Amino acid sequence: MTVSNPLQTLGNQHLGDLQADQSFYLDADRLVRRLRLGSRVVESSVKVHPGDERTAQLDPLGVWWTAYLEGQLPSPAEVTDRLSVADLFCGSGGLALGTRLLAAEMGLSLVNEVIVDSDADATATLAANHDVRVRRTESVTSLVDFRVRGSGHNAEFTYRPELLDDQVATAAQRADMLTAGPPCQGHSNLNNRSRRSDMRNHLMLTVPAFAVAAGIERIVIENVPAVVHDDASVIATTKALLASAGYRVTDGVLASDKLGWPQTRRRYFMVACLNAEPTPLDTVASCLADEKPRTLEWALSHLDNWPIDDTDPMDQPTEHNQENQRRIDWLFDNNEYDLALSERPECHKDGTSYTSVYGRMRPDEPAPTITTGFTTPGRGRFVHPTNRRTLTPREAALIQGFPLDYRFITESGSSPSRTQLAKWIGDAVPMPLGYAAALSALAATSI
């Protein structure tokens, strides 16, 4: 391939321990992304819309992500291998999206060997969009037998964890990487002494147990940033369990907007590799850093040519009660982004609640964190920047990094409810965060 018109290199090139960076160039009608992963260099490309070459020069990462959101996966120079993944607490597949994009760029054909979640419709959605071999709708706790002695830095498995389901075990043993986003509610719920002392109650610990039982070489665990303050020291316990099984671990908090994505969401990640050092997350973040995050307006512009279907729950705005609609109208009538104290419910009028609640989103900034409350003005700054309503599920999904054609379905084939969509979309890991964490696991190790 002839190299023409080198564009930008993003990320800090001058870190002493740099193991990865990215650069872009145009080759005829294709935009090429060049990822340097330690000693390994991978190139892949996407087709640029005719006439968009200038935009690609000014904002190559934006054009790269536009191609992705429009459903185009990058073509690598060659597909060299397969990446087999096991995904626990998989939800509707947010975390899986980052892995999928990175795998495509690295020339790895991705297979989801096994996915597990207690929500059948979420796993049906993931399976409708990804190549899934074994799908399990049940608690992860019923799939792995383990026991932990001690907690924090002294924790260890009292015997080697074992997978209890033969089909899951066979699939998991094929996996090169385990990804998992255990729910966080367990952390504060362990308030009775005997439950707290039995660390098996902690869903997070099923992840190292599952990985050790199946001998999976790379692990990516995602959680809320506050998990590091967990009363039961679950992070220290997880690290100790992994270290005692031979894994090396890196962890930290990644922020989507620092990677250039139009949302400020932050998530905690732990990455572990057997017999290899995962690339430190702050190194990955520096290498992928983009100082000027894209805006909410940029994200929503991808819907300009998308056929909105008023009968599809993905496109249906929530109908608000009179009071909330009056508050939304007030923001527009007064050209404001924060609701005045006088317009708030009585219990908010002392001014101690968050100003962002009932707020209108600013078009020229990244979106705030999309939570499961994005359809409700009283649960955050979720009023659309230019329309008198909160975000639709499709708009929220886009801001989370779901491609436009991502199919949200239920097991029976009917449309998901608004509540289901809000949960799946609000719970999801934004694509660039999963991408960065997967890069930490894959940069240092060859498949």
Ligand X SMILES: C[S@@+](CC[C@H](N)C(=O)[O-])C[C@H]1O[C@@H](n2cnc3c(N)ncnc32)[C@H](O)[C@@H]1O
Which one of 59, 117, 217, 251 is in contact with ligand X (CB under 6 A)?
117
30-51 burial code (b ≥16 CB/10 A, e <16)? bbbbbbbbeeeebbbbbebeee
Q: Could you tell me if 196 and 154 are in contact, meaning their C-beta atoms sit under 8 angstroms apart? A: no
Q: Are 362 and 257 in contact (CB under 8 A)?
A: no
Residue of 63, 106, 203, 234 that binds ligand X (CB under 6 A): 203
* Residue 427 in contact with ligand X, rule: CB under 6 A: yes
- β pairing state of 40-47 and 162-163: unpaired
Shortest Å, Cβ 430 to ligand X: 9
Candidates 163-171, 230-238, 318-326, 424-432: pick the segment binding ligand X (CB under 6 A): 424-432
- Taking CA 282 as the corner, what is the angle to CA 440 and CA 218, rounded to the nearest 5 degrees? 20
| Residues paired with 22 in a beta bridge | 10, 35
Question: Which residue number, 18 or 253, has a Cβ lying nearer to ligand X?
Answer: 253
Scanning the structure block, which residue is given the tokens 């990640």?
269
Cα separations in angstroms, 105 against 44, 68, 109, 155: 5, 11, 10, 38
> Which of 428, 437, 441, 444 contacts ligand X by CB under 6 A?
428
Q: Which residues contact 200 (CB under 8 A, 6 or more apart)?
A: 141, 146, 147, 148
Answer whether 183's CB lies under 8 Å from 89's CB.
Answer: yes
Return the structure tokens found at 115.
């996915």
State in angstroms the smallest separation of the CB of 312 from ligand X. 20
Query: Would you say 195 or 388 has its CB closer to ligand X?
Result: 195
Minimum CB distance to ligand X smaller for 76 or for 380: 380
DSSP 8-class letter at 224: -
Q: Is 402 in the site for ligand X (CB under 6 A)?
A: no
Size of the site for ligand X (CB under 6 A): 21
Site for ligand X in 68-107 (CB under 6 A): 89-95
Smallest separation, CB 138 to ligand X (Å):
7
Among 113, 119, 251, 395, binds ligand X (CB under 6 A): 119
- Closest CA relative to residue 425, chosen from 321, 313, 337: 313
Residue type for position 444: A
Among 31, 86, 102, 140, binds ligand X (CB under 6 A): 140
Q: Does 420 interact with ligand X (rule: CB under 6 A)?
A: no
Residue choice 183, 225, 313, 373 for contact with ligand X (CB under 6 A): 183
Task: Give the shortest CB-142-to-ligand X separation in angstroms.
Answer: 8
Nearest alpha-carbon partner for 85 in 105, 64, 114: 114
Within 329-368, the residues that bind ligand X by CB under 6 A are none
- Give the interface segment with ligand X, choosing from 73-81, 157-165, 253-261, 422-430 (CB under 6 A): 422-430
Window of 9-17, 64-72, 115-123, 327-335 that interacts with ligand X by CB under 6 A: 115-123
Minimum distance of ligand X from residue 115's CB (angstroms):
10
Tokens (6 digits) for 408 = 């949200």
Q: How far is the CB of 305 from ligand X (least distance, A)?
A: 27
CA–CA gap between residue 130 and residue 113 (Å, rounded):
11
Return the SS3 of 308: coil
Residue 189 is a binding residue for ligand X (CB under 6 A): no
Q: Residue written as tokens 């920047």?
A: 385
CA end-to-end span of the chain: 25
Question: Between 117 and 230, whose beta carbon lies closer to ligand X?
Answer: 117
Q: Based on the shown chain and the rule CB under 6 A, indicate whether residue 122 belongs to the binding site for ligand X.
A: yes
DSSP string, 73-107: PPEES---EEEEEEEES-TTSHHHHHHHHHHHHTT
Shortest Cβ 116–ligand X spacing (Å): 6
Tell me which residues are annotated as active site: 184
Task: Please select the residue that binds ligand X; options are 13, 139, 188, 197, rule is CB under 6 A.
Answer: 139
Angle subtended at Cα 251 by Cα 246 and Cα 254, rounded to the nearest 5 degrees: 150
Site membership for ligand X, residue 181 (CB under 6 A): yes
Report if residue 190 touches ligand X, rule: CB under 6 A: no
**The one among 357, 429, 431, 438 contacting ligand X by CB under 6 A:** 429
The residues of the shown chain that bind ligand X, judged by CB under 6 A, are: 89-95, 116-119, 122, 139-141, 181, 183, 203, 427-429
